[in-house]
Amino acid sequence: FTARYLKDYRPSEFTINTIDLTFELDDHKTIVTSEMSVTKKSTTANKLTLDGEQLKLIAVFYNNQALAPSDYQLNDDSLTLSIIDCESTIKIITEIDPVNNTSLEGLFKSGGAFCTQCEAEGFRRITYYLDRPDVMARFTTKVIADKTLYPFLLSNGNKVSSGTLDGNFHYVTWEDPFPKPSYLFAVVAGDFDLLTDSYVTSSGRDVRLEIFVDKGNKDKAHHAMASLKHSMRWDEDTFGLEYDLDIYMIVAVDFFNMGAMENKGLNVFNSKFVLADKETATDTDYFNIEAVIAHEYFHNWTGNRVTCRDWFQLSLKEGLTVFRDQQFSADMHSAAVTRIQNVRVLRSQQFAEDAGPMSHPIRPEKVIEMNNFYTLTVYEKGAEVIRMLHTLVGQEQFKQGIDLYFKRFDGQAVTCEDFINAMADAASIDLTLFKRWYSQSGTPLLTVEENFDEQSKEYTLLVKQTNHPTKDQQVKAALHIPIAIELISECGTKAKLLELKSNSEQWHFNDFKTKPIVGFLAGFSAPVKVNFTQSNNDLATIMTKADDEFLRWDAGQKLYVDTIAKLIADENYQIPLQLIDILAVQLKSDSDLALIAEQFTLPNFHELVEQFKPVNPIVLLNAIEQLKTFIAQGLQDEFLAIYKKHADKIYQNHADAIGERAIKNMALSYLMTLSSYHDIAEQQYANSDNMTDSLASLNSAATNGIAAFDTMMASFEKRWSRTALVMDKWFSLQAAYKGNDVFERLTKLSQHPLFSLKNPNRARSLIGAFTHSNPRFFHCSTGKGYQFLADQICKLNDINPQIASRLITSLIQFKDFDKNRQELMKQQLVRISTLSSLSKDLKEKLDAALS
């Protein structure tokens, strides 16, 4: 497998103006006919190499002349033709086998429906093409299929004709007026229930909205529809961006490698991010559906209207679009809770990636398998980089930067640099140094020191940045880091924005009588780690006095982390009762309930691994449990009171009710660490009228390994065995069960009639949930957990390399753990690396991890 480098980018020598596609859909022999009009960009260009993989070539025509095999060169991954004329037409006929396409890239079948996934490089599994984002063509697509099995035939753009054909076939032709790269192409054919609605844009255009779901699921699509309309309104209100076609379609499918795909006018979604009702979806599911619907919708501008020049620029569309969906969620819900959840993802997963063997800048420079770079770094850290720009220039100028970006680049395929330059020009600010965030990997560490001169009353804050070498990059430079702070003193709270631009800088503040307390990194203004020792008293002050809710929450998290550090060092460490006093104040604060629930959510195992690595995971887990039980004991009366207060409420779907469920289930999770309260979970399960409460009770039963777990799970299985998305939750709960028989359970589960590695949601729900939510057994000292994961990865290598490659993350980050475990994890990696048909996806990661 060969690597590709950013530095080697060259524009194509050809443009493809139009492509007319015809799909004759068939389970095993789908015929794709492609007719392209191609223009030479320079007269010297005479060889056109088209990408193509796993295709059966049937015929090639050049300017309507059939070519003989000696006229072209055919390889495993390309087809090369001689181009004589400046303007040529090329017709290519290929045959593909959708049913046997378990990689779910290109054209495949999900249940009874045909559907496609082309990003990043899946179009080349449909036909030979210049499968790169900077080649933009106008697509016309004719889809032909059996009328009874596939009443709906969909593609991008507007429907221009349809009709019936002999032999119970019918066809529909679609025309997309916007030139687009091949990765945004989509075809869907199937039988669905259809939910329709409409939306009038700010300029008065009527847009038809259609959501296609599996038969019987229409009632579960209303939340997705409402989310779509909210997204459309928000983008008009916030950025003045209107939808540009007359129809917007979303199709929900059960077999999908990721969350969703922003194909022009025809989004394809994992049904997990469309279907919801109170009985089957949790409050978190509702939130995520809205966020993913928004994300894909926002791509219509940031991604589709202006796209990426090459795949190294992926963060151009993804970082920006994640930032936009985060801002949208913050506007629709509690901004603080939304922000806290973003930060948890960064701290628990992105920081680990950035320090691990696959570390890469948000704009990678070297790629072997592009699908390996749809990462937390490109997406989430990419969004943080955009957020820093937003912080530096402010919302008004940011909006002007966005305006200028579209004015300059609408309809083009551009680079990250183009985006920053538009921002810099619109806001008249120098972003030269800031651009380093795009090329430098790793998480900066800020070390903070403070000094208060009692005589002069001058307060000094000294901040140093350290950028440790990473696997991909030994030499690092100083970054431009916006640091929002609050100075809390008897004269109130003052917010400031500091800009660190070199390795170390200091700031002086003069207007205090006594030493102020600094709340550092308000709103998490930069994706950095912070090393700053503050006393429990200072942290307690920040928890109550900071204006920024993120700072209040983060001070609490620091208290937890400090306590866990002490428990790791000495398991007999006596946690001071002062902690309970501080937390008791917080429990009674008048913040919204969802925020209080966040404040009581301890940093998760993965976040703490990042803090304490290399660490013995069991020692760490014991410390977390000790702290949790200590808090539960100290505040049990309060938790019980909260629990009772909200226990018997009828389900409602609005912010206050969501907050009540959040705090109630937080109280439950503490109480369940004390054996005298174990009955509560069972009662809650029996009485619950919604999935949030059912799942919370089952979760606490699983993670505390309580006896009633199996009975509860049996009833859950009986009720939901026909609802795939709920059965995913069932598998995940089983995988998270903390009992010594977990390995026998896993074996049984992997033979369960409803288990299949071919369905990514199902595979993740068992394997991903085990490795992520059951660290005690995943890391068990015998190495059985690692072996289980490796066994599954070996099977997935043949079935679905993308899913295999996602799941290997928890093994390649072996350096985070103690030496014994490192060895056991490496053994499994070595075992996987000896597979005879190792996929490119896994190979790239294994090479990085084992070198």
Ordered DSSP codes for 48-77: EEEE--S-EEEEEEETTEEPPGGGEEE-SS
Minimum CB separation from ligand B3K for residue 807, in Å?
Answer: 15
Q: What is the largest CA-CA distance in the chain?
A: 95
Confirm or reject binding of residue 560 to ligand B3K (CB under 6 A): no
Nearer to Zn ion, 303 or 401 (CB): 303
Write the DSSP symbol of residue 138.
E
Question: Minimal distance in Å, beta carbon 321 to Zn ion?
Answer: 5
Q: Which is nearer to Zn ion, 307 or 797 (CB)?
A: 307
The pair of three-digit structure tokens given for residue 69, joined into one six-digit string: 């095999």
Residue among 329, 293, 311 nearest 416 (CA): 311
- Bridge partners (DSSP) of residue 140 are 20, 175
Q: 266 by DSSP, 3-state: which?
A: strand
Tell me the helix, strand and coil percentages in the chain, rounded to 5.
Answer: 45, 25, 30
> Which residue type occupies 251?
V
With contacts defined by CB under 5 A, how many residues of the chain interact with Zn ion? 2
Q: Does 295 bind ligand B3K (CB under 6 A)?
A: yes
**Cβ proximity to Zn ion, 62 vs 374, nearer residue:** 374
- Applying CB under 6 A, does 312 fall inside the site for ligand B3K? no
Per-residue tokens: 176: 């997309």
In the sheet that holds 72-74, the strands lie side by side as 47-51, 78-82, 72-74
Write out the two tokens for 686: 């029996």
Site for ligand B3K in 373-402 (CB under 6 A): 374
Residue 120 interface partner, choices Zn ion, ligand B3K, none, CB cut-off 5-8 Å depending on type? ligand B3K
Among the listed ranges 253-261, 549-557, 736-744, 791-799, the one in contact with ligand B3K (CB under 6 A) is 253-261
Nearer to ligand B3K, 122 or 357 (CB): 122
Q: How far apart are CA 66 and CA 60, in angstroms?
A: 6
Of the pair 285, 318, the CB lying nearest ligand B3K is at 318
Give the Cα separation of 658 and 652 in Å (integer). 8
Give 260 or 609: the residue with its C-beta nearer to ligand B3K.
260
Of 66-74, 125-133, 293-301, 605-613, the segment contacting ligand B3K by CB under 6 A is 293-301
The residue from 48, 258, 276, 746 that contacts ligand B3K (CB under 6 A) is: 258
Q: State in angstroms the smallest separation of the CB of 258 from ligand B3K.
A: 5
Q: Which of residues 300-319 bind Zn ion (CB under 5 A)?
A: 318
Nearest distance, CB of residue 371 and ligand B3K, angstroms: 4
Residues 319-358 that bind Zn ion (CB under 5 A): 321
If one asks whether residue 318 binds ligand B3K (CB under 6 A), the answer comes out as yes
Residues 6+ apart with CB under 8 A from 170: 144, 145, 147, 153, 162, 163, 164
Q: Rounded CA gap, 731 and 702, in Å?
A: 11
Is there a catalytic annotation at residue 823?
no
Taking CB under 6 A as the rule, does residue 324 contact ligand B3K?
A: no
Euclidean distance between CA atoms 74 and 53, whole angstroms: 11
Backbone angles phi, psi at 506, to 5 degrees: -130, 150
The alpha-carbon radius of gyration of the chain (Å, integer) is 28
Q: Cβ(671)–Cβ(639) under 8 Å?
A: yes
Count, residues near ligand B3K per rule CB under 6 A = 12
User: Which span sits near ligand B3K by CB under 6 A: 258-266, 495-503, 621-629, 649-657?
Assistant: 258-266
The answer to whether residue 120 forms part of the interface with ligand B3K (CB under 6 A) is yes
**Does 369 engage in binding with ligand B3K (CB under 6 A)?**
no
270 or 792: CB nearest ligand B3K: 270
Q: Which of 51, 134, 176, 262 binds ligand B3K (CB under 6 A)?
A: 262
Q: How many residues does the chain have?
A: 851
- Select the residue interacting with ligand B3K from 20, 51, 53, 119 (CB under 6 A): 119
Give the C-alpha separation, 713 to 693, whole Å: 14
Q: Which of 119, 121, 290, 296 is catalytic?
A: 296
List active site positions. Answer: 296
Q: Which residues bind Zn ion (CB under 5 A)?
A: 318, 321
Q: Which residues bind ligand B3K (CB under 6 A)?
A: 119-120, 258, 260-262, 295-296, 299, 318, 371, 374
